Amino acid sequence: MADDEKKIDATVSAEEVAAAKAEIAAEAGDDYGDEAVDGDTAASAGVKAGEFEVTKEEMSVIRAELASSKPYSKDPTVRRPLEYTMEKLNHVMEWRESAGAPEMEDLVHLANGPEDSPEALEDPAKLVKAKALAVSLNNASIYWHGFTKEGKPVLWIRCGRKPWYPNVEAEVNALILIADAGIKCMPEGITDFVVISDSYSPPPPVPTFMINVLKALVRGYPDRLNVLLSAPVSSIIQFVMNLLMPLMPGRLAGKFILKDSEDAREIMKEWLMHGEEDIPTFFGGKSEHDKLYPEEGYSKVQGQGSLKFDYFGMIERLKESAKEWEETQKK
């Protein structure tokens, strides 16, 4: 038996697989095949004040989420019923509230500051959560860098940097934080993103983590993902996809592409804004991602707290790349 298969057998039991299927199906509920509402219709519907704590920035993210969703009808002249609009809007807001999405930006600022700051001393439990988030970010296993030729931001996943025994809550929080940051940096008119996963030497699959990531995609970002390219293909990656694919809504399952490294490079050459120049070194290209997003022990960027990942630099670079892409559209 191959080493990868041994890791899988030691990590996931038949009972866990069955539990995963049941839990994801229960979580998805009626939304599993439904389509969401758009931002303009949601805004016209209105939201009853006081039901959710929603800042102006948070509402902009929610409206953007809705704007990216599929139409209610193939006929663009058919407007959504008000009840449908309100139901879907509330589903998005309820998920973001329950997942703690509105506080993720506060947590990363808290993790970047001193532990004896007034904010940290006032809420020790929040500081613990912030430090756990920082730990998940510090390995630089997920980050935004660059755009495609179509203006979609690219989310890079470095599977080999993921921990073998992750803090599931903190890892999902990091995903929510990073996803929202990228959405806010999208050029006008762009509503979805591309994911490219360096799937060399992934850790053993952790069912609880996979379940929660899939929940986040299904409930929080179902129409945000344009496509996910994963390379190379190992037995662990095949196992993960074989487990998750049957659990996904059809519109999500069709967005996953598994390729070997050579084929992936050709695809990246076609997708990425600067073509071959943007292919990273870990895929045999020239772009040095590790200078900007090194492993934790090599990071030279650090504030006064536990955050070592260059989160704020990532956002600035993404904004600059967005402006560069917008300039190319004027020519």
Q: Render the burial of 127-152: b for 16+ CB within 10 Å, e for the rest.
A: bebbbbbbbbbbbbbbbbbbbbeebb
Give dist(CA 13, CA 17) in Å, integer. Answer: 6
**Lowest-confidence pick of 57-71, 233-247, 281-295:** 57-71
pLDDT, residue 201, reads 87
Q: Strands (DSSP E) along the chain, which ranges?
A: 142-147, 153-158, 193-198, 225-231, 256-258
Give dist(CA 243, CA 11) in Å, integer. Answer: 13
Give dist(CA 268, CA 156) in Å, integer. Answer: 12
**Lowest-confidence pick of 92-96, 224-228, 258-262:** 92-96
- Tell me what the mean pLDDT of segment 49-71 comes to: 50
**Lowest-confidence pick of 111-125, 165-179, 221-235:** 221-235
pLDDT, residue 217, reads 82
10 or 161, which is more confident: 161
Under the banding of pLDDT at 50, 70 and 90, the label for residue 234 is confident
Under the banding of pLDDT at 50, 70 and 90, the label for residue 154 is very high
Q: How many CA atoms lie within 13 A of 12 on its CB side?
A: 22
Give dist(CA 98, CA 243) in Å, integer. Answer: 26
Cβ neighbours, 10 Å, residue 70: 14
Percent of the chain scored above 90 by pLDDT? 51
- Residue with tokens 């704007």, as numbered in its chain: 67
Q: Which of 193, 194, 218, 198 is nearest to 261 (CA)?
A: 198
**Lowest-confidence pick of 35-44, 245-254, 310-319:** 35-44
Under the banding of pLDDT at 50, 70 and 90, the label for residue 240 is confident
Peptide bond into 232 cis (omega under 30): yes
For residue 4, pLDDT over 50 is answered with no
For residue 42, pLDDT over 80 is answered with no
- Tell me what the mean pLDDT of segment 221-238 comes to: 87
Could you tell me the residue ranges of all domains in the chain?
Answer: 33-99, 138-328
Q: Which of 156, 146, 185, 158 is nearest to 274 (CA)?
A: 146
CATH architecture assignment, domain 138-328: 3-Layer(aba) Sandwich (3.40)
For residue 253, pLDDT over 60 is answered with yes
- Our CA angle for 298, 301, 303, nearest 5°, is 130
Under the banding of pLDDT at 50, 70 and 90, the label for residue 85 is low
Calculate the alpha carbon distances from 197 to 85, 156, 237, 239, 298 in Å. 34, 6, 11, 16, 21
Give dist(CA 100, CA 226) in Å, integer. Answer: 24
